């Protein structure tokens, strides 16, 4: 485990190597770094967040209650509270990465998401395995996203809200 001298450490967190944590990183209480993690300069590893087999480029912000597994987050990418980079298909088959041009068979049972520079993922959004967000792409809060989101575009779900009478 390498931790740069100026990393801000909380009273408690867990760091299991191999891990490399760069300068100016802030690690918040309850963060769980569980191996094969590289964190670039100026990142925030937030409260009650878990990081596994991932690369966070510089300035990445994952401030609270998120999971980042088997993923790459580009420079200044941001995950809102409770955002999840899911890394395992429900049927546990190998993950494929789909772009408009091609399908890439990874051969991997676990593969999370790839986020371009300054990509944004809203609170409680889920990126399904193999999702790719281009630079400055945005996934709206509460959205479940699968596939490829081009640069500077927004993905959102609009669902109907049903109102039923209470039966007290």
Residues annotated catalytic, as ranges: 64
Buried residues in 37-47 as b, exposed as e (16+ CB within 10 A)? bbbbbbbbbbb
Q: C-alpha distances in angstroms, 162 versus 44, 113, 115, 143, 166?
A: 38, 32, 34, 18, 12
Strands 72-73 and 78-79: unpaired
CA atoms of 116 and 99, how far apart (whole Å): 14
Of 56, 64, 59, which is closest to residue 28 (Cα–Cα)? Answer: 64
The SS3 of residue 32 is strand
């Amino acid at each position: 485990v390498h931790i740069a001298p100026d990393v801000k450490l909380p009273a408690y967190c867990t760091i299991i190597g191999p891990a490399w944590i760069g300068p100016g990183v802030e690690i918040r209480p309850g963060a769980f770094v569980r191996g094969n993690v590289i964190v670039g300069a100026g990142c925030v590893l937030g409260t009650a967040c878990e990081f596994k087999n991932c690369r966070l480029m510089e300035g990445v912000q994952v401030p609270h209650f998120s999971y980042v597994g088997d993923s790459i987050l580009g420079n200044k990418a941001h995950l809102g509270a409770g955002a999840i980079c899911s890394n395992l298909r429900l049927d546990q088959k190998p993950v494929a990465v789909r772009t408009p041009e091609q399908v890439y068979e990874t051969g991997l049972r676990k593969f999370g998401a790839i986020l371009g520079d300054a990509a944004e993922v809203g609170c409680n959004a889920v990126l399904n395995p193999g999702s790719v967000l281009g630079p400055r792409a945005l996934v709206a809060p509460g959205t479940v996203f699968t596939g490829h989101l081009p640069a500077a575009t927004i993905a959102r779900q609009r669902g109907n809200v049903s109102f039923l009478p209470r039966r007290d």
